[in-house]
């Protein structure tokens, strides 16, 4: 750190951390929640398009949250040993997401601080140059002496030489004044940069302190999870081998996918209707503008017919000469097409996912076990693949899309689902942590989670599925291993 980067903590200041996106408790409340979101956006000065987008996103989150709660309670009466790990694994995921966000925030602050230091260095060089110029100017003035203009006039010297000397003195005075102004401005700017750098250093120190606290909490939570797993590991392994348990887990996931598919299809249809309505309104506005322009032209022609054809001094009819001098009529102003809601948030619907078949990359590097349709130990068949990978490895989004599910689920641990549009979903299970939340958009290759063995999985790795219209499709036919 530079000299002005020394940390200076502020006693009660805490940086705001993103909260977990929690919506209403039932689907019936979703419209009311959406209306409330619209009202809040209006009162905050947001545009109608942004207000509508926020309301739709709030409604989506409400419906997905309701779906999550329904799934959690559907088999709540059936005890499962892995459920004892739920709270601990959820806390580990939350703490790691907060650490990830703090790391991003720290990197941004560090970049800003580095930029301020570079500006300060550049300004220091400029200030040195300005001071050197002033020193040279004062030295030349010292060598020539400092006679005032009255003394030069009383000396009786040559008038031409006197004029040259007076101009020289005036130029020196003006240059000195300009240099002094520049130096003063540079010093003030350097003071401002130093203050900004101190503020960023303070913020950076606070973020680092919060990181230390989260690391401590995370270590404690990992120890707690380790102790719980040691108590229930035998029972977890036994239940995983029981006939029917895996089928129940797969059934639960299928129910989740089916209901998510319906929710997303309904929202896509709503957005399509809004886009069609906007296009129809734009077409109607253009037609009305064209009709008015044509009516104006027709009225102009009728007025010209009613006007007497008087002769002008040039010999031409007055109407013809007036028409010749009249500038051409301006074209009707084209109104800007109304932007559909989806343009305010680049969601997966803008990505033609079907074209990515054969060129996708698997979300994590590792050894692939199981293939779609092959028998699975403990009963059932594989509906995706399991990729063995070391704990903590980064899980990448296979393509751009929007997070539509990020929650702990029995049998799959910390589970994340991305909607890629056109009824394509990618599913990532058994994660150690989920770094994204419902409603967030992601780009292809962006880190979305870290590898783990949550949900009672005996191995560290990632369970990965692809679905289209709710049906599993073979990820190995879509992903390239090169």
In terms of C-beta density within 10 A (0-12 exposed, 13-18 middle, 19 or more buried), how is residue 309 classed?
Answer: exposed
User: Which is more confident, 463 or 232?
Assistant: 463
> Residue 218 maps to which CATH number?
1.10.287.1490
Give me the percent of the chain exceeding a pLDDT of 70. 65
Whether 91 and 210 share a structural domain: yes
In a domain, residue 29? The reply is: no
Whether 353 and 235 share a structural domain: no
Q: What is the pLDDT averaged over residues 452-471? A: 91
Above 60 in pLDDT, residue 13?
no
In a domain, residue 265? The reply is: no
Q: What is the pLDDT averaged over residues 208-220? A: 90
Above 70 in pLDDT, residue 34?
no
User: Which is more confident, 29 or 442?
Assistant: 442
pLDDT single digits (tens) 361-380 = 999 999 998 788 888 776 67
pLDDT single digits (tens) 411-432 = 899 999 999 998 999 999 999 9
What was the pLDDT predicted at 396? 95
Give me the percent of the chain exceeding a pLDDT of 90. 21
What was the pLDDT predicted at 146? 55
Copy the structure tokens of residue 284: 């109607």
Whether 360 and 225 share a structural domain: no
Q: Which of 77-81, 120-124, 228-232, 297-301 comes out lowest in average pLDDT?
A: 77-81
In a domain, residue 340? The reply is: no
Q: What is the pLDDT averaged over residues 64-88? A: 66
Q: Which domain holds residue 209?
A: 80-241
Beta strands 413-421 and 367-369, pairing class:
unpaired
Q: Which of 2-16, 126-140, 454-468 comes out lowest in average pLDDT?
A: 2-16
Whether 237 and 360 share a structural domain: no
What was the pLDDT predicted at 448? 96
Domain count, the chain: 2
CA distance 162 to 249: 102
The band of 77, judged by pLDDT with boundaries at 50, 70 and 90, is: very low
Above 80 in pLDDT, residue 169?
no
Instruction: Rank 221-225, 244-248, 312-316, 391-395 by mean pLDDT and report only the highest.
Output: 391-395
pLDDT averaged over the chain?
74
Above 50 in pLDDT, residue 21?
no
Whether 367 and 231 share a structural domain: no
Last residue of a domain, one of 213, 241, 269: 241
pLDDT single digits (tens) 323-333 = 555 555 545 44
Whose tokens are 């990632």? That residue is 462
In a domain, residue 26? The reply is: no
What was the pLDDT predicted at 424? 94
User: Which is more confident, 61 or 93?
Assistant: 93
User: Which is more confident, 469 or 309?
Assistant: 469
CA distance 477 to 362: 11
Q: What is the pLDDT averaged over residues 378-406? A: 90
Last residue of a domain, one of 241, 265, 291: 241
Last residue of a domain, one of 241, 271, 292: 241
Whether 217 and 363 share a structural domain: no
In a domain, residue 13? The reply is: no
Q: What is the pLDDT averaged over residues 18-25? A: 32
In a domain, residue 197? The reply is: yes
Copy the structure tokens of residue 362: 């698997």
The band of 3, judged by pLDDT with boundaries at 50, 70 and 90, is: very low
pLDDT single digits (tens) 262-312 = 888 888 888 778 888 888 888 888 988 888 888 888 888 888 777 655 554
In a domain, residue 23? The reply is: no
pLDDT single digits (tens) 175-191 = 777 877 888 888 888 88
In a domain, residue 449? The reply is: yes
What was the pLDDT predicted at 57? 62
What was the pLDDT predicted at 429? 95
Residue 152 makes CB contacts below 8 A (sequence gap 6+) with: 162, 165, 166
What was the pLDDT predicted at 123? 81
Above 80 in pLDDT, residue 313?
no
Whether 353 and 223 share a structural domain: no
Above 60 in pLDDT, residue 135?
yes
> Residue 388 maps to which CATH number?
2.70.70.10
Q: What is the pLDDT averaged over residues 470-482? A: 86
Whether 211 and 353 share a structural domain: no
The band of 255, judged by pLDDT with boundaries at 50, 70 and 90, is: confident
The band of 44, judged by pLDDT with boundaries at 50, 70 and 90, is: very low
């Amino acid at each position: 750190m530079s000299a002005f980067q020394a940390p200076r903590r502020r006693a009660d200041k805490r940086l705001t951390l993103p909260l977990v996106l929690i919506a209403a408790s039932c689907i019936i409340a979703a419209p009311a929640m959406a209306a409330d979101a619209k009202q809040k956006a209006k009162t905050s000065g947001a545009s109608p398009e942004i207000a509508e987008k926020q309301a739709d996103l709030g409604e989506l989150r409400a419906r997905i949250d309701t779906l999550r709660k329904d799934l959690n309670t559907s088999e709540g009466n059936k005890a499962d040993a892995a459920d004892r790990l739920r709270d601990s694994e959820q806390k580990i995921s939350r703490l790691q997401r907060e650490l990830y966000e703090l790391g991003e925030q720290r990197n941004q602050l560090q970049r800003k601080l580095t930029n301020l230091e570079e500006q300060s260095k550049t300004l220091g060089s400029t200030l040195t140059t300005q001071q050197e110029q002033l020193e040279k100017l004062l030295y030349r003035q010292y060598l020539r002496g400092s006679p005032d203009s009255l003394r030069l006039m009383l000396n009786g010297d040559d008038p031409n030489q006197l004029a040259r000397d007076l101009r020289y003195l005036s130029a020196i005075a003006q240059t000195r004044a300009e240099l002094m102004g520049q130096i003063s401005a540079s010093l003030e700017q350097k003071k401002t940069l130093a203050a900004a750098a101190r503020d960023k250093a303070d913020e950076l120190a606070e973020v680092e302190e919060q990181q230390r606290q989260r690391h401590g909490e995370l270590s404690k939570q990992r120890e707690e999870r380790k102790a719980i797993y040691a108590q229930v590991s035998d029972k977890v392994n036994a239940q995983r081998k029981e006939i029917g348990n895996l089928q129940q887990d797969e059934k639960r996931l299928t129910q989740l996918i089916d209901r998510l598919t319906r929710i997303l299809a309904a929202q896509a249809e709503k957005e399509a209707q809004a886009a069609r309505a906007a296009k129809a309104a734009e077409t109607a506005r253009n037609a009305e503008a064209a009709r008015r322009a044509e009516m104006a032209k027709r009225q102009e022609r009728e007025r010209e017919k009613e006007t007497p054809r008087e002769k002008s001094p040039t010999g031409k009819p007055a109407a013809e000469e007036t028409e010749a001098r009249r500038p051409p009529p301006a074209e009707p102003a084209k109104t800007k097409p109304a932007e559909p809601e989806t343009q305010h948030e680049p969601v997966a619907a803008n990505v033609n996912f079907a074209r990515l078949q054969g060129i996708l990359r698997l979300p994590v590097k590792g050894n692939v076990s199981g293939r779609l349709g092959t028998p699975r130990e403990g009963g059932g068949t594989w509906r995706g693949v399991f990729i063995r990978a070391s704990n903590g490895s980064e899980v990448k989004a296979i393509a751009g899309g929007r997070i539509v599910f990020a929650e702990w689920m029995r049998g799959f641990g910390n589970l994340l689902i991305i909607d890629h549009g056109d009824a394509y979903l990618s599913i990532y299970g058994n994660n150690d942590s989920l770094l994204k939340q419902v409603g967030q958009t992601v780009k292809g290759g962006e880190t979305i989670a870290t590898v783990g063995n949550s949900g009672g999985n005996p191995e560290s790795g990632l369970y990965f599925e692809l679905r289209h219209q709710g049906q599993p499709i073979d990820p190995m036919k879509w992903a390239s291993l090169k």
